[in-house]
Amino acid sequence: MSESTNQEINTLDFVQLAEGLQENFQRVEDLMTDFSEGFKEMDMDPFNLKQLYGEWLMAAIQDPQKLMGAHAGYLQKSMELYRHSALSFLGIDSAPVAEEGRGDRRFRHEDWVQEPAFGYIKQSYLLISEWMRELVTDLDGLDDHTAEKVRFFTERYLDAMSPTNFALTNPAVLEKIIETKGGNLVHGLKNMLEDLERGKGMLQIQMTDSDAFELGKNVAVTPGKVVYQNRMFQLIQYTPTTKKVFKRPLLVVPPWINKFYIMDLQPKNSLLRWLVEQGHTVFVISWINPDESYRDITFDDYLKDGVVNATDVVEEITGESEINAIGYCIGGTLLTTTLAYMKAAGDDRIKNATYFTTMLDFEEPGELGVFIDEEQICGLEQRMEKDGYLEGSAMAGAFNLMRANDLIWSFYVNNYLLGNDPRPFDLLYWNSDSTRMPAQMHSWYLRNMYQKNLLKKPGALTVAGVPIDISTIDIPVCFVSTVEDHIAPWKSTYAGAQLFSGPARFILGGSGHIAGVINPPEAEKYDYRVIDGLPSNPDDWAENAEKTPGSWWPEWQRWIAPMGGEQVAARKPGTGRYKVLEDAPGSFVKARIGDKLEAIQVSPAPVKPVAAASKEKKTASTRQRTKAAPAARPEASKATKQSTDDLTLISGIGPALAKMLQSKGIANFTTLAAMDEKQLRAVLDEEGTRYRRFDPSSWPAQAKALQDAGKLDI
């Protein structure tokens, strides 16, 4: 970004302007030459709008009455606008023919109201917009998905054609041109060229001054330590700020499509910092930003090597087998899938779950649904097949397109037409810090969740070899959604909350997908609604839920506190087997677009379980099974009498599990090395369904290696 300031722009003379423009035009020529060389390889119509509007036109021709009605209405209002404008030029006030929406911030300059010429331009644009919306709404002959796509892209076209996006029809820009003698246009062109160079010929509008932020310095600064890492994630344990904490630790599962520090931007609005202050022992997953080497990573890997593995580590570090969990957006979708997977394995360590703006029923995905159909998924798969991943900027572009006026055109006007440098804004810095999606995982997710909507159907989706059934999850859950969410519409998240068999609570906050969640109590912004019970109709729920001013955070804390357990001494990161690897926010979150991943030093595998196995209560039928004859164990009783080895040296065997194995006559490496996986599985099955989550396949080989090492020592 150029270091020119607005003060320098104001002092430019016409000679400097000419020189600056000449220099910039040469850069434009060079860029266009490079751009044209790759033109043939670029998809200039990624959404296939030519075919889309061809289908609309054929349907429109079949309904001439609608077309005539729309044209007649437009002509009538145009005459009214002509009369209104004539009176305005004569200084006579009259009611405007067309007005922008209440939340439309494009026409805030006073000249849009006070100057007749600009009033005419604005109202003409608004009338044409109304006319075009009528043409593409409620048109027979189009299926619902095609009709929704036509409406969506028509709105995006209207956004682009706004008179505020053109220098000669924007009074604020004209005012700036006079003030700076055109210096704003020179500086704006420089900004545009730098964005084109950054995007390699594609315009990547810079929303904020990225150089103003550094992770761990002025964003993501809540004190904590990375205590574990594998190929999928780093686990951060945050430093306590209270002497006592809740007994149950709290595991946060963020989306892997975004980076976790949206919950830790600044101390004043950090949700993670606030959770620590409430007395929670907070653990957060920081996902890897994958490169092409992760092309074959699956959703199974995110589940098993991600959430399940993190649960194992949290249990071992804290010694607690009862854990609370939070999932944000698709992190909540992953958390739910994991809970159903764990339930099938008899694993009930996660005792309650909170979901921030999470969809589980994808029947009505909102505007995001226009990007999910067979044609577009196939296009994404072709791109991912080439690179091994979907670049994060592609997904960010889709999200920005849904709020084009706020996230695209406002910055276009500010940076290029007004010639301002983008201002530092922590939220927009995070928004531009996107992550890549592994090819196989992303394709599977889009097809099975969004396209086929299998997650809500019991047993329709199989993950890691286990049929997923959300209805088996009977723990308390709390859904937090926001009324203006355009990514996870609140009524869709409400439908997902009804899929559980346990008690469910629903909180509806104000604002949108991010601002409505990251809403600290001190800000005193927005409001929230909550009532007991979850009627089947979301409108009935909303009608009976009274609004409470302020943040929903304290309301959620009142819900979770009774389930936190008794107060225990605060837990300092790095005091157990898992030593501190680095300070929070860690290195995984710092990998940006284009960075190559370095070799990852994997932490020791977690021991499963610590406290959980020791607290296992056998049912009557389980006790009966333990009395049955065990599977054949070579020389078990004899070996036990001869020696006892420390079985906890084997990865995957903790103290409680070692004690159980010893009670079964498996007390040393010799005995264990002589067994196979099938025999060990039979032993675990005798102890009940909870032991199904252990993987004994590597135990004999590890025991043999330890046995051999012992012989060498002698």
d(CA 614, CA 690): 12
3-state secondary structure of 577: coil
Whose structure tokens read 């005798």?
A: 686
Amino acid identity of residue 613, one-letter, is: A
Average pLDDT value for the chain? 86
Position 34 scores a pLDDT of 56
Q: Residue 93 burial by CB count (10 A; 0-12/13-18/19+): exposed, middle or buried?
A: exposed
* Torsion of the alpha carbons at 690, 469, 233 and 692, rounded to the nearest 10: 20
| Helix (H) or strand (E) run with residue 233 in it | strand 233-238
Amino acid identity of residue 516, one-letter, is: G
* Tens-place pLDDT, residues 305-332: 999 999 999 999 999 999 999 999 999 9
d(CA 237, CA 251): 9
CA 454, 459, 465, 470 torsion: positive or negative? positive
Least confident of 32-36, 220-224, 458-462, 585-589: 32-36
Catalytic residue among 227, 329, 591, 639: 329
Tell whether the model's pLDDT for residue 44 goes beyond 80: no
* Tens-place pLDDT, residues 331-363: 999 999 999 999 999 999 999 999 999 999 999
Position 400 scores a pLDDT of 85
Q: Quick check: is 329 catalytic?
A: yes
d(CA 259, CA 383): 23
What are the structural domains, with CATH classification, of the chain?
225-366+438-590 (3.40.50.1820), 611-713 (no CATH)
Mean of the pLDDT values across residues 467-482?
97
Smallest CA-to-CA distance from 148 within 157, 158, 138 is with 138
Tell whether the model's pLDDT for residue 659 goes beyond 90: no
Contact 492, 329 (CB under 8 A): no
pTM attached to this predicted model: 0.79
* Tens-place pLDDT, residues 167-218: 999 999 999 999 988 889 889 988 988 888 877 777 889 999 988 999 999 9
Say whether the peptide bond before residue 171 is cis (omega within 30 degrees of 0). Answer: no
3-state percent breakdown (helix, strand, coil) of the chain, nearest 5: 50, 10, 40
User: Residue 522: how many CB atoms within 10 A of its CB?
Assistant: 11
Position 678 scores a pLDDT of 87
